[in-house]
Chain A
Amino acid sequence: MELRHVTKRYEAGAKGTPGAVNDLSLSVPAGKICVLVGPSGCGKTTTLKMVNRLIEPTSGDILIDGRAVLEEEVTTLRRRIGYVIQQTGLFPHLTIGDNVAVVPRLLGWPKERQRQRRDELLALVGLEPGAYRDRYPAQLSGGERQRVGVARALAADPPVMLMDEPFGAVDPIVRERLQNEFLRLQEELAKTILFVTHDIDEAIKMGDLVAVMQLGGMLAQFGPPDEILAHPASDFVARFVGADRALKRLSLNRVGELPLEPAVTVTPGDDTELARERVRSAPFPYLLVVDADRRPLGWLPADRIAAQGHIDPSLAISMSPLLDRETTLKDALSMMLDADVQTGIVVDRDGRVQGLLTVEAIGVALRPESNPAVLAPSAAAAAS
């Protein structure tokens, strides 16, 4: 999906008009989620609605799969774009099943295929078809309605989806769960998604790419969420992402993305001579005692290594948290602070030691200079 110099102007002074958009260009690679985020009135919803032509742009081009949306018949275009709206917009007079099958019905699918697809989608979004298909929207909770909204948008398997604050009308706990479920779905579905929110945390969480917009419909910054947190392009972006942007980055990065320090290990029964030799080359005066499968047993301080004999595993102190590569840095740091240690042990799925992660390494990773790939544009911005 590509937006080229898209502009939408409204008559000055007209009340209640949506935000204008000014010369907006961005492209969303296939299978990625691009989040438009900004304060209210910044034109993010206007931008979204120009893609399915609920709002016609004043100028500029919007391309989906290389085809200009303005040249397409408008109902055909809309039927091949999934649309999830704020407050769900479910049809109150249709059952949940009929709501989900709306687009297949408009496309004239055979009845049997509509039924099959309806049940398949309800199951996909976690609603048991038998229990839900004959109910009406008014009989569902907010979270359930949001799920139906997502199912309805997916009905005709559109390659492109527009989502306008799809998880806005539910409480934070349900929102978090819906976000996680949707991200899991997206891993399989790989839709190209334009997603609107006013919530920077949601933008960071959901977006492969984040477009921060500011009043007047201008694009303030466009890039991967980590880049926006690490290198806000302007004071506006820095203020918008918040003073805690370094902490936000912690939840964005995972242990596996950082270079791990090698663990210096010994196995019970190893000769203490060997152990003493190893500890001399270790970065700190501890050895990690592991079993025969390299599963960690605990730390052995250098001064407790016996003068001679063999390594005694009962002397090992276990206190470092175990992390896996998928643990977010935020959780990792939290676990280390909890355990009052500087080091976490990174293990694989079978519990075997992969390496060590230190608090210091996290600090280094969050330093903007540590990522030369994104340093250049920010340096240029700072110089100008």
Chain B
Amino acid sequence: MDVDWGWITDHLGALAERTGQHLYLAGIAVAIGFAISFLLAIAAIRRRVVYPPIAAVAGLVYTIPSLALFAALVSITGISIVTAEVPLILYTFVILIRNIVAGFDSVSPDVIEAADGMGYTRNQRLLRVELPLAIPLIVAGLRVASVSTIGLVTITGTLGDRFGGLGFFIFEGISRDFTTEMLFGAVPSILLALVIDLLFTRVQAAATPWTRRRAVLTPEGSEVPV
């Protein structure tokens, strides 16, 4: 297996452009997916009865094979960004909704009761107490959803040039039987997923300062890290 380094150097500009497109397509999907998931999760938290049906539908959607869904949507919305984004968005639901609900569920009942007893209104409690405490699990959900969306975006490359990001190189490489171009799409998309994963790990640490610097005090008052 020979890699054509000359071809690679010639296409670095295209690589940058495709990486940008990849992030754009994945970013829109995760952003919209998160917004919708958040609203559905809040609804599920406030009215527990709606959670099982929401979770069931999100789970069902997740089982539809992605290629089949793209193909089905082409007949409705044609070759458009909507066709590309709708499946990407739908696939984020199952991860995001479950994690957001789990995040809010992880807040200790003692803390909720203290918030009520202190005189927080319901919305104040949600925004200032429950949301910050749910962040670790919410960000964990975002992390998994982002990484899996980055993987899926390569498949939108089947819709054509304008979509697919790095997937474009993969599909073109396959059709031309040109290994260098296939790898030119595959390796950066894997790296992209790893970078995003790392980024979210950092974001989570920055957003939850109270989980760091954990130390217990001995009776004498000296700090012992645990």
Contact = CB atoms under 8 A, between A and B. Distances in A.
Contacts of A77: 119
Given A106-B119, A138-B211, A141-B217, 12 more contacts: A79-B119, A83-B118, A86-B110, A88-B110, A89-B110, A89-B117, A91-B133, A93-B208, A94-B210, A102-B118, A103-B118, A139-B223
A92 B117 contact: no
A89 B216 contact: no
16 contacts: A77-B119, A78-B119, A85-B110, A88-B110, A88-B114, A89-B114, A90-B114, A91-B111, A93-B129, A94-B210, A136-B209, A136-B213, A139-B213, A139-B217, A141-B219, A152-B118
A149 B129 CA distance: 16
A85 B133 contact: no
Nearest to A106: B119
Contacts of A89: 108, 110-111, 113-114, 117
B210 A92 contact: yes
A76 B132 CA distance: 24
Contact of A85 (B114, B132, B208): B114
Contact of B119 (A88, A103, A138, A139): A103
A116 interface: no
Interface string B91-117: 000000000000000001011011111
B135 to A, nearest CB: 8
A138 B214 contact: yes
Contacts of B120: 75, 106
Nearest to B132: A93
Nearest to A83: B117
Residue with the greatest number of chain A CB neighbours at <10 A, chosen from B110, B116, B119, B133: B119
A52 interface: yes
What range describes how many residues of B lie at the interface?
Answer: 20 to 34
A139 B216 contact: yes
A140 interface: yes
Interface of B: 108, 110-111, 113-121, 124, 129, 132-133, 208-211, 213-217, 219, 223
A272 to B, nearest CB: 58
Interface of A: 52, 54, 75-79, 83, 85-94, 102-103, 106, 136-141, 144, 152, 162
B121 A75 contact: yes
Contacts of B210: 92-94, 136-138
Contacts of A93: 129, 132-133, 208, 210
B87 to A, nearest CB: 36
Contacts, number: 75
Contacts of B115: 91
A79 B114 CA distance: 12
A5 B120 CA distance: 29
Contacts of A90: 111, 114
A32 B183 CA distance: 78
A78 B117 CA distance: 6
A141 B216 contact: yes
A76 B116 CA distance: 11
A140 B217 contact: yes
Contacts of B211: 138
Interchain residue pairs A-B with the least CB separation, the first 7? A89-B114, A79-B119, A78-B119, A83-B117, A136-B210, A89-B110, A93-B132
A71 to B, nearest CB: 16
Nearest to A95: B210
Contacts of A76: 119
Contacts of A94: 210
Nearest to B223: A139
A52 B111 CA distance: 16
Contacts of A137: 210
Contacts of A83: 114, 117-118
A52 B114 contact: no
Most buried by A among B120, B121, B133, B223: B120
Contacts of A103: 118-119
A152 B219 CA distance: 23
Nearest to A92: B210
B224 to A, nearest CB: 11
B103 to A, nearest CB: 12
Contacts of A102: 118
A75 B116 CA distance: 8
B67 to A, nearest CB: 43
B114 A144 contact: no
A78 B213 CA distance: 33
A85 B119 contact: no
Nearest to B115: A91
Greatest chain B CB density within 10 A among A54, A88, A93, A139 is at A93
Nearest to A87: B110
Given A138-B210, A139-B217, A52 B121 contact: no
B217 to A, nearest CB: 5
B126 to A, nearest CB: 14
Nearest to A78: B119
Given A92-B133, A92-B210, A75 B113 contact: no
